[in-house]
Amino acid sequence: MSEAPTDTLSSRPRVLSGMRPTGALHLGHYHGALKNWVNLQATHDCFFFVADWHALTTHYQDRSTIERNVYDMVVDWLAAGIDPEQATLFIQSRMPEHAELFTLLAMSTPAAWLERIPSYKDQLEKNRPNGEGATYGFLGYPLLQAADILIYKAACVPVGEDQTAHVEVTREVARRFNRIYSPERAILPEPQELLTATPRLPGLDGQKMSKSAGNAIAMRDGPEVVDEKVRTMPTDPQRVRRSDPGEPSRCPVWPLHQLYSDASTQAWASEGCRKASIGCLDCKKPLIEAIQAEQKPWRERAEAFLANPKQVQWIVEVGTERARAVARKTLREVRTAMGLAY
């Protein structure tokens, strides 16, 4: 393994994206983000980071599992096909440069910009009954997110539709900084969002797939686990008996067919459901097989990394050093513009 991705990557548009470490990833993570990352690394200079500081904005008391969650998630990235020869992988908390830029940007960012974020208002109401309210870290996380992006001068940020507001805040922060400190030459470029093709993957109950909701299929679930989870999924509530005709649009299984099944299989499943010529287990069988086939190479690649954890740590170490070189260069420009180059 080389010590860093090749220099040719620097001529490509730069992409920055991160994930909070919540442990092993599920199919929603893959189709909502990772699949896009794998494609982008062939055409962009990709920086992908473990957002462990961001995890602490809402789970600041959960310190016992964070290290395991960090490396479980990195293994899933590698298993999905993220190539450390093409992309830079690193851990946010290993980069104090992010915290310094966050602090410097905070000096000129109006507090009202952060207070108007819908998720902050929701968290404020959620914690009001226990008298705590939202923490300062949670209030500031959109600005920390902006620092994460701007310190690498990312041109693009892959996000779902529900996250576009955060990229807009980042653009506002960059615009304000450049106007105040560097009006002649914009130091911090304004990033654009790259919307994911699958913004929301339904879970086993038809709601958004989520580990905390208990409705997820993990990327590394074994074949027998996938079989059991999909077989027991609820179906069209109006199809009580095998002989009752159903309607795919009412069935939580159908969105998964739309993602995993080809046109002929979808036509077979929808017609069989509406005419009651197939049962729900018949409908689920090709879906189970498709999910298992997708997971097989992930598990194989993951096993190799799990057998050699030092290799995973080395990949992160190399990525962190490359990220630090880029971050420090930006930080020097920011400090100079702010009159702090002494």
Q: What ranges do the domains of the chain cover?
A: 7-201+309-337, 223-298
In CATH, what is the architecture of 223-298?
Orthogonal Bundle (1.10)
pLDDT tens digits, 262-310: 999 999 999 999 999 999 999 999 999 999 999 999 999 999 999 999 9
**pLDDT-derived band at 228, boundaries 50, 70, 90:** very high
pLDDT the model gives residue 130 = 67
Specify the long-range contacts of residues 233-242, CB closer than 8 Å, at least 24 apart.
Answer: 233/204, 233/205, 233/284, 234/204, 234/205, 234/206, 235/280, 235/283, 236/273, 236/280, 239/273, 239/276, 239/280, 242/276, 242/279
Per-residue pLDDT reduced to its tens digit, 98-144: 999 999 999 999 999 999 888 887 877 777 666 676 789 999 999 99
Secondary structure of residue 20 in the 3-state scheme: coil
Work out the pLDDT band at 195, boundaries 50, 70, 90: confident
Is residue 198 pLDDT above 80, yes or no? no
Query: What is the rounded average pLDDT of the residues 180-192?
Result: 97
Average pLDDT for 186-214:
88
Mean pLDDT over 302-319 rounds to 97
Structure confidence at residue 6 as a pLDDT band (50, 70, 90): very low
Q: What is 143-167 written as a DSSP string?
A: HHHHHHHHTTT-SEEEE-GGGHHHH
Average pLDDT over residues 203-208: 91
DSSP collapsed to 3 states, 102-117: HHHHHCCCCHHHHHCC
Predicted local confidence at residue 126, as pLDDT: 76
Q: 218 - beta bridge partners?
A: 26
| pLDDT surpassing 90 at residue 193 | yes
CATH superfamily of 7-201+309-337: HUPs (3.40.50.620)
Reading the block at residue 40, the tokens are 């982008």
The pLDDT of residue 38 is above 50: yes
Among the ranges given (122-136, 139-153, 241-255), the one the predictor scored with the smallest mean pLDDT? 122-136
**Count of CB atoms situated within 10 Å of the CB of 180:** 12
pLDDT number for residue 129: 67
Average pLDDT, the chain: 92
Which carries the bigger pLDDT value, residue 199 or residue 219? 219
Q: How far apart are CA 214 and CA 179, in angstroms?
A: 47
The yes-or-no verdict on residue 7 having pLDDT over 60 is no
Give whole-number Cα distances, 231 to 37, 265, 275, 289, in Å: 30, 18, 21, 12
Whether 18 has a pLDDT exceeding 90, the answer reads yes
